Amino acid sequence: MSLLDDDVLILYIPKLSQPLPKGSHPGLVAFRSVQRQIPDPLNLPGRLRLGGERRGEEVESENDREPDQPHTAGESSRTSRRAPAPASTQNLGYRGRPRRSEVTVTNPDQEGTVTRASLREYAAVQRERYQHATRAEKHQLLDELVTVTGMHRKAAIRLLRRAPRPPTRPSRAGRPRSYGPDVAAAAEVLWQASGRIGAHRLHPFVAELLERLIRCGELTVTPAVEKLVRQASRPTLARLLASARAQFPPRGYPTTRPGTWLKHEIPIRTFPEWDDARPGFCEVDLVAHGGSRTQGFYLCPLCAVDIATTWVELEVVWGKGQTRVGSAVHSVRARRPVPLVGLDSDNGSEFINHRLYTWCPREGITFTRSRAYKKNDGAHVEQKNGAVVRQLVGYDRFASRAAYRQLARVYQLARLHVNFFQPVEKLVTKTRNGARVRRVYDRAQTPYQRLCAADVLSPATRHELETRYQQLNPLQLRRDLEAALERLWTLAAPDPCRLQESTESQRPPRQSPLLGPHRRWLW
């Protein structure tokens, strides 16, 4: 018997002409190889190589046969369960079964695993110690590295001897970015000028709004950036504006009280019955500026929405009395560019009363109401309550004369901005397929564009609206609106229920590169 290397044990057994009886010679079993298979360099008969089997397999020698089992010619004395030789010699090496050192999809994160990044960091720390260590210290460092990482000792030596790799910048996969920071900045200017509306509403209005801002001197871009902004698709525009999206406030509390028996005399009009509405039919509703409480006195603006053209009128009301609400309806009617034909309200007592019930037929106005507890019957005005009133003013409480005057100024500016520079999509069809509903909307247009396309304006009114539209600067209008809002928020009445919450959730204001710092909602 001779020992050729550290891994393979070679036994020389003389060739026997007759098999020995069982038990006459000790069987050679349960020898295990250490790392690998090596070819037999001598290929001698009667020589049994016990180093090529895989770890954990038993080896059966010729002397382990049963006495009554004959030995056939050409039968190898080696085991039939030995692992096949590797197909390629470059796979022959000193490496054993690798220890998990990287977390992948097929190799989940487990306790004790070592990632590639942590391995490089650990080797970078040990490399300097290894280069200045003595032989004994290097031996200890290698033992520690092998124990921690599971690497082979030779691989650990190579890792500590070689120079550290220079840091490389991670490369971006795929094609280069087409829409850079300049395009995103220009898109944010358009988004700010339109009142921070969604990309699906802003996209059809980009070309006209971009031309208006360039003509007003509010935006200066190169021809290449202008071309990219014009050709940006709606998803691309949404991605460009993703980092600048505004924070949406939560919902408020309902303040509508049920009307009297008079509501049974007023016909009901539901949401689907507005399909054939012509310009002049409006939905009206009050929005409560009462903060977190509905008790006491507070201001309530009247919101009126034209169903066909989405034209919005806003009027501040001092309280919720029938007389003051009726006066607000008179003001809205006089300010509208088209005559008021129909009026649809909820079931609150501020609308369902004898004053409004007798006034509408006398003026030739159709008066209808929604169903009780069916909020979607007034979907148009409810949407504007959230998208215009709540998004601008928020949920603070206003109850003073100064707040009344400032609210009137805010809604005067908001009326111009919403009607001339905020495109709106309208529902065209809605198809239900099982549990899914498919909605199709038309091209987003501003209320002013829809009003001009309806061909219901008189020549004098059309000329007046066109002149007013050409005089407006959308970005300057937005600045004036935000300045008025800043002044309004200083006039809010204290709200004890929200004082502590606002103090805890207060954050520093976001700095806008175009409009300056603006207030973030705390409710």
Query: 11-25, 37-51, 207-221, 503-517 — which one is most confidently predicted on average?
Result: 207-221
Give the pLDDT confidence score for residue 177 in this predicted structure. 81
Q: Are 121 and 128 in contact (CB under 8 A)?
A: no
* pLDDT beyond 60 at 48: no
The whole model's pTM is what?
0.56
Higher-confidence residue: 415 or 7?
415
Least confidently predicted of 202-216, 254-268, 334-348: 254-268
Q: What angle do CA 141, 147, 149 make, to 5 degrees?
A: 95
Give the pLDDT confidence score for residue 517 in this predicted structure. 42
Give the pLDDT confidence score for residue 122 in this predicted structure. 84
Kindly state the average pLDDT of the residues 109-135. Answer: 77
Give the pLDDT confidence score for residue 241 in this predicted structure. 87
User: Band of the pLDDT at 82, cuts 50, 70, 90?
Assistant: low
* CB-based burial label for 232 (10 Å; 0-12, 13-18, 19+): buried
Higher-confidence residue: 501 or 126?
126
Least confidently predicted of 10-19, 237-246, 410-419, 443-452: 10-19
Q: Report the DSSP beta bridge partners of residue 510.
A: 518
pLDDT in tens, 155-172: 888 888 888 777 667 666
Higher-confidence residue: 202 or 12?
202
* CB-based burial label for 327 (10 Å; 0-12, 13-18, 19+): middle
pLDDT in tens, 293-307: 777 888 999 999 998
Give the pLDDT confidence score for residue 270 in this predicted structure. 59
* pLDDT beyond 60 at 36: no
Give the pLDDT confidence score for residue 246 in this predicted structure. 55
* Single-letter amino acid code for the residue at 390: R
* pLDDT beyond 70 at 18: no
Give the pLDDT confidence score for residue 417 in this predicted structure. 93
**Domain ranges for the chain:** 1-88, 116-161, 181-244, 262-494
pLDDT in tens, 231-253: 999 999 998 888 877 554 444 54
Give the pLDDT confidence score for residue 76 in this predicted structure. 45
Q: Return the closest-CA partner of residue 359 out of 387, 335, 340, 381.
A: 340
User: Band of the pLDDT at 507, cuts 50, 70, 90?
Assistant: very low
Q: What is the CATH number of domain 262-494?
A: 3.30.420.10
Q: What angle do CA 117, 120, 126 make, to 5 degrees?
A: 145
Q: What is the rounded distance in angstroms from the CA atom of residue 238 to the CA atom of residue 50?
A: 69
Kindly state the average pLDDT of the residues 492-508. Answer: 58
Q: Are 418 and 389 in contact (CB under 8 A)?
A: no
* pLDDT beyond 80 at 465: yes
Give the pLDDT confidence score for residue 488 in this predicted structure. 92
pLDDT in tens, 418-427: 999 999 998 8
Least confidently predicted of 61-70, 189-198, 350-359, 514-523: 514-523
Q: What is the rounded distance in angstroms from the CA atom of residue 195 to the CA atom of residue 481?
A: 10
